[in-house]
Each structure stands twice: as structure tokens, then as C-alpha cells.
Amino acid sequence: MPDLSVLQYDLVANLMSFCIAVMGAGAVFLFFARANVAPRYRPALLVSALVPAIACYHYARIAGSWAAAYVFQDGSYVASGVPFNDAYRYADWLITVPLLIIELIAVCALSKALAKSLTLRLSIAAALMIVLGYPGEIATSSGPAWLWWGLAMIPFLYILKVLFGEFGTALERQPERARPLIAKARTLILITWSFYPIAYLAPYMGLSGAAGEVGLQVGYTIADITAKVGLGLYIYFIARAKSEADNWDVSLTSDVDASHSRELVGAAE
Amino acid sequence: MPDLSVLQYDLVANLMSFCIAVMGAGAVFLFFARANVAPRYRPALLVSALVPAIACYHYARIAGSWAAAYVFQDGSYVASGVPFNDAYRYADWLITVPLLIIELIAVCALSKALAKSLTLRLSIAAALMIVLGYPGEIATSSGPAWLWWGLAMIPFLYILKVLFGEFGTALERQPERARPLIAKARTLILITWSFYPIAYLAPYMGLSGAAGEVGLQVGYTIADITAKVGLGLYIYFIARAKSEADNWDVSLTSDVDASHSRELVGAAE
């Protein structure tokens, strides 16, 4: 690990802590927002809540590993000798990236056969993308790094091809008010996910040392927040739009617990 | 404990952390997915959620014990002198293995007499299998290890005999769309559970030292994730298929608590 100034070390440590807070809050919001959408969209919101919950756990681990990897010495931060464990990011992505795909497909409530086929193919491709990326991440020379990068790009391009091809066609049958939201959610995936393969190559494109390490950690953290909580919020807005299109009224079951007491009151009247 | 390279130590530590995240997420998903199935299948899903919740707790203990058993020294990980506590695995299995059997029988909603008889016999056999395996796990020579392995295999083979015999016959009365899912869940048990007696013998079949220890920990962890969260998801899909076959509609009972109050209202009217 390269030596860091106090400003550099703190930027990463504070952003990781910020990320823990945003992921935790996002998970709780999405979890309880299930009550505001029709029952058929609730499993999609449940998965959307699990993703930042899992990331919150992993960022607690990542922040702990960052703190253990450095010691404060003579006005700056130097490597403590304990290796920084970046593999927590890959463990997180291996679970959450397939789940992000699953939440987007689930909220669309496509036909059973199409939903099953898309979920299976895209979640396997997503997992494969992460698994193939890891050997390149821990590679110490540019040859294997580029090789594994190239291999991981194959499932990534396949995911984009399906999302903008087959899945795009299926969108035409979605309610009018949900369609632009789904298209935006897909664009969010395209933009945020494209950040990772670029960041991955940064050390081999001249960005190394302290600036490279800080840039990488900052970039991954911002991309994770946007890809997970950002997409989760889109899933929520899509579910709301579709619930309205289904003529489902939030006051029918406005809240999981409130509905219980309201109906009891109704029964007593 | 054998000395380990950073890569070997990290592989086990990262996989254990990954397992904590998957078990935790699996437990939360299965717990709240109860709302998406007919009330009669909810107890099976509740048990399916408890299994990864219990495993999540035990993996936090196992990961803590793994971290305490090693110290980082001169570029590699050496035994700290604190023994690694593998007994947490057996404590976990003693609770979760009978519960896995119970969730599979419960979701089938068999006749009361058959369900009771199968649950009793198979959960006792499952507990016996774990209890008999433990003395062999802590044995230091191959004689007792093989002896206890052989004894533990008796209840295991009995479980397989019942699952593929008596229980198989009962399956014929299950709804058509649920049958292939139940058969797959049973195959998952056969494959994942068979891994444990093989892994158990690995040290006596030439796999020892660092590679043996790492292989054992990795194998047990992957088998646990598949056997617990994998089976739990099958139980969920079986419950969904059976709810549909019962003509139960998710929008009828949007939520576990809401359905309760609606029924109270119905009773009051």
C-alpha cells in the first residue's frame, strides 16, 4: 500500500463511512417502502433492499480493513504491513450484481417463461463477470490483468446486449408511465457498471501510487452507491407507477401494520 | 494449524465472510417471502429462514475463530497457538440438518400421520448422524475416524432410503407443477449432503497440511451455502407452485399481518 497524506487517507475512510450510512438507510427505506406498492411488486423491492443491506455489511468490513492497513506516523499514513483486503468488494459484487439484475426483471412482472429465462441467463452472466474479473484484480503484471479484463468483458457485453435487445422489446408491453423509468434504470446500469472495467485498468494506464489507490477506492465507492441505492430507488418508482397503472390504491394497504389497526377499528365501528 | 500463504488464508477468510452475507440475506429473504405464499406453506418458509439465520450466527463465530487462530508474520500466516474451533460447525449442523428435513416435509403438506412419522424418524436420524460424526472429526488417528464415519453413515443412508422410497411414493399425490421442484430439492440434498462424508475423510486420503485444511474449509462452506440457502429457495419455489395450484392469489393476502386483520374483519361482519 502506498504512503498517503492525512487528506488522502481521510477522504477514503470518510467516504467508506458515508457509504455504510447511505447503504444502511437505503436498505431500510426500500424494505418498508414495500407497503406502498401492490403486492406483486413487493418481492422486487425486497431484493432491492437486500442489495444495499449486503453492501452495508461489506463496507463495514472494507472500512475495517482500510483502517488496519495503515498506521499514522510522523504526520502521514504509512502501510501497517497488514494487507488491505479488496476481495470484500468481489465477494459483495458476486452476490449483489446478480441480485441487481433480478430486481430489475422482477419489477417488470414479465411473462413467467421470459422472466425465468432472462433471470437465469443474466444472473449467471453477472456472476461469471465478477469471477473472471478477480484473477486480473490480484494480478501483479499487466498481461494477465488485460487477459482477465477481456474475458470478464464478454459476459458484460452479453448482459448489455440482452438488456438493450430482448429485454427492450419486452418493455413495449409495460404500462406507459413505467416505460421511461425502466429505460432510465437500464441507462443507470449501463453508466454505473461501465465505471468498473475502467477503474480496474487505471493502474495499467498510468494512474498508480497514492493518487491511483485513492482514486480507485473513491471511484468504486461512488459507483457502488449509485448502482445499488440509485437503482433501488428507480425500482421503487417503477413499482409505484405500475401499481397505479394496475389501479391499486395505496390506501387499501397503506402500511403493513397500520392496515391491521385500521381494519380492527372498522370492525369495531 | 498448518502455516498458510496470504492467498490461502484470505481465500478461507473471504469465503467465510461471503457465507455470512449470503446466509443473512437468505434468511431475510425467506422470512419476508412468506407473504408471497398461501398461509399453509408459511411455517415451512419460516423454518427455511431460520436455517440460514442460525448458520449466519455460526459463521460469524467460525470466522472469528479462524482470525484468532492465525497471526500475520513475515509475509505469511502462522498458527497463533489459539486452536481453531471447528465444533461450531457441528453445533450448527445439529440444529440445522434436522430443520432442513423438517422444511422439506412441511412444504409438501402431506397427510398429518405421514408427516408426523417422517418428521420424527428423519429428524432423529439427522441428529444422530451429526452426533456420531463428531467423535471421528476430533479423532487424531484413522482407526476411530473410520469407525465413527461408518457409524454416522448408517443414519445418513437411512435418510436417503426414506427420501427416495417412502417419501417418493408420497410425492405422486403432489400437484403436477410442484413435483419436479420437490424432486430437484431432494437431489440437492443427496448431492450436497454427500459432500460432507467425503470431505471428512480427506485428511486420511492424502489431503493434509495447508492444502487439506484450506480445501476442507472451502468445501464445507460452499456445501453449507448450497444445502441451506439453495434448499430454502427450492422450498420457496415449491410453496409458490403449490399456492398457485391451490388457486391462492398473492393479492388476496398482501401481507402476513394484513391477512390476519382482514380475516378478523370478515368474522366481525
Q: Report pLDDT for B212.
A: 84
- Residue in chain B lying closest to A268 (CA): B268
CB contact under 8 A, B17 and A88: yes
Helix/strand/coil for A111: coil
Rounded to 10°, the helix B179-201/B112-137 angle is 20
CB contact under 8 A, B258 and A256: yes
Phi, psi of B141 (to 5 degrees): -130, 165
Residue B62 is placed in which grid cell?
467460525
Contact A267, B263 (CB under 8 A): no
Minimal C-alpha gap between A39 and chain B (Å): 5
Mean local confidence (pLDDT), B217-235: 95
CB contact under 8 A, B264 and A263: yes
Residue in B15, B17, B25 closest to A50 by CB = B25
Q: Report pLDDT for A106.
A: 92
B94-136 pLDDT, tens digit per residue, is 999 999 999 999 999 888 999 999 999 999 999 999 999 999 8
Three-point CA angle A238, A239, A240, nearest 5°:
90
A137 touching chain B per CB within 8 A: no
Q: Report pLDDT for A263.
A: 47
**Host H or E run for residue B73:** strand B70-73
CB contact under 8 A, A91 and B17: yes
B72 touching chain A per CB within 8 A: yes
Give the DSSP letter string of A70-83: EEEETTEEEE-SSP
- Comparing A143 with B262, which gets the higher pLDDT? A143
Pairwise CA distance, residues B62 & B17, whole Å: 10
Residue in A61, A257, A267 closest to B268 by CB = A267
Q: Tens-of-pLDDT digits for all 269 residues of chain A?
A: 889 999 999 999 999 999 999 999 999 999 999 999 998 899 999 999 999 999 999 999 999 999 999 999 999 999 998 888 889 999 999 999 999 999 999 999 888 889 999 999 999 999 999 999 999 888 878 888 899 999 999 999 999 999 999 998 888 888 888 899 999 999 999 999 998 888 888 777 777 788 888 988 999 999 999 999 999 999 999 999 999 888 887 766 545 444 444 444 454 44
CB contact under 8 A, A264 and B261: yes
**Complex ipTM more than 0.90, yes or no:** no
Q: Report pLDDT for A253.
A: 56
Chain A CB contacts of B10 under 8 Å are 83, 85, 87
Chain B CB contacts of A267 under 8 Å are 264-265, 268-269
Contacts of A105 (CB under 8 A, 6+ apart): A115, A118, A119, A122, A167
Q: Report pLDDT for A128.
A: 96
Residue in B21, B72, B257 closest to A260 by CB = B257
Chain A CB contacts of B28 under 8 Å are 50, 53
Q: How far is CA A210 from CA A3, A146, A206, A222, B52, in A?
A: 6, 22, 12, 18, 41
Alpha helices per DSSP H over chain B: 6-32, 42-69, 87-108, 112-137, 142-164, 166-171, 179-201, 209-225, 231-245, 256-268
Minimal C-alpha gap between A267 and chain B (Å): 5
* B 206-265 near A (Cβ less than 8 A): 250-251, 254-255, 257-258, 260-262, 264-265
Pairwise CA distance, residues B233 & B230, whole Å: 5
Helix/strand/coil for B205: helix
Residue in A91, A94, A260 closest to B258 by CB = A260
Residue B130 is placed in which grid cell?
451429526
Residue B155 has pLDDT above 60, yes or no: yes
B14 touching chain A per CB within 8 A: yes
- Residue in chain A lying closest to B15 (CA): A91
Chain A CB contacts of B33 under 8 Å are 43, 46
Phi, psi of A109 (to 5 degrees): 45, 55
B17 touching chain A per CB within 8 A: yes
Taking the model in full, what pTM does it have?
0.88
Exposure on the CB side of residue B266, measured as CA atoms within 13 A: 6
Pairwise CA distance, residues B109 & B242, whole Å: 10
A74 touching chain B per CB within 8 A: no
CB contact under 8 A, B14 and A257: no
Chain B CB contacts of A82 under 8 Å are 72
Closest residue by Cα to residue A53 from A89, A29, A35: A29
Minimal C-alpha gap between A61 and chain B (Å): 9
A116 touching chain B per CB within 8 A: no
A67-125 pLDDT, tens digit per residue, is 999 999 999 999 998 888 889 999 999 999 999 999 999 999 888 889 999 999 999 99
B33-84 pLDDT, tens digit per residue, is 999 999 999 999 999 999 999 999 999 999 999 999 999 888 889 999 999 9
- Residue corresponding to grid cell 413435483: B179
A95 touching chain B per CB within 8 A: yes
